[in-house]
Amino acid sequence: MPAADKANTAAFAKHVKAQQETRENEKKSAKMSLMARFVLFLCLPTFMGMCGLGVSYLKTMRSSYGKDEKPHEVSFDNDFVMPFLLSLALVVVLGMQTKGFTTSERKGAFQWPKARVVKKIRRERKVVDEHGNTIRTERLDENGNVEDDKKDR
């Protein structure tokens, strides 16, 4: 066996061993701790809501309005609750897709059905003359009988 083949075999063996170790580590991966879940499900959406509220407050303080324009008012529902709910929904969806944040690969909430390939079998009989020219083509049904409702081609 040449030296290049031995080197390739050794490199391939190291690669396979690394993949097996990665799979074993993924199987052993622990679920998220209670503190991490608390931060992810409560603190992150609260932070996003506070950011929305802060931006709205800055808009109120820094904006100048004309005589006919109504000044911007801080609204708790629009400025805090909406960003809070949107970020909470995002965290919940990501949690469902990653099976409770236990895997790094996402998986859909449901699986699409597999597409089936349907092959259509075309049965026909060609009538040819002695020179090989096609005189007519007859379509056949599943039993081998000529279909009468179709025109000859």
Which residues make Cβ contacts (< 8 Å) with residue 74, sequence separation at least 6?
53, 56, 57, 60
Q: Is residue 123 part of a domain?
A: yes
Show the CA angle centred on residue 101, arms to residues 49 and 92, nearest 5°: 40
Helix (H) / strand (E) element for 128: namely strand 124-128
CB atoms closer than 10 angstroms to residue 95: 16
DSSP bridge pairs for 128: 134
Q: Is residue 20 part of a domain?
A: no
Tell me: do 48 and 79 sit in the same domain.
yes
Q: What is the pLDDT along the chain (153 residues), one digit of tens a residue?
A: 565 566 667 777 787 788 777 777 665 555 677 788 888 889 999 999 999 999 999 988 877 777 777 888 889 999 999 999 999 999 988 887 777 777 666 666 667 778 888 877 778 888 888 888 888 888 877 777 877 654 544
- Do residues 140 and 123 touch, judged by C-beta distance below 8 A? yes
Query: Which tens digits make up the pLDDT trace of 26-66?
Result: 655 556 777 888 888 899 999 999 999 999 999 888 777 77
Domain containing residue 90:
31-97
- Do residues 98 and 105 touch, judged by C-beta distance below 8 A? yes
Terminal Cα distance for the chain, rounded:
64
Q: What confidence score (pLDDT) does residue 46 get?
A: 95
Tokens of 84: 């809070």
Number of structural domains (the chain) is 2
pTM of the model: 0.49
Q: Is residue 7 part of a domain?
A: no
| φ and ψ of 47, to 5 deg | -60, -45
Q: What confidence score (pLDDT) does residue 148 get?
A: 66
Tell me: do 80 and 121 sit in the same domain.
no
Q: What confidence score (pLDDT) does residue 4 get?
A: 58
- Do residues 92 and 119 touch, judged by C-beta distance below 8 A? no
Tokens 């990665």 label which residue? Answer: 22
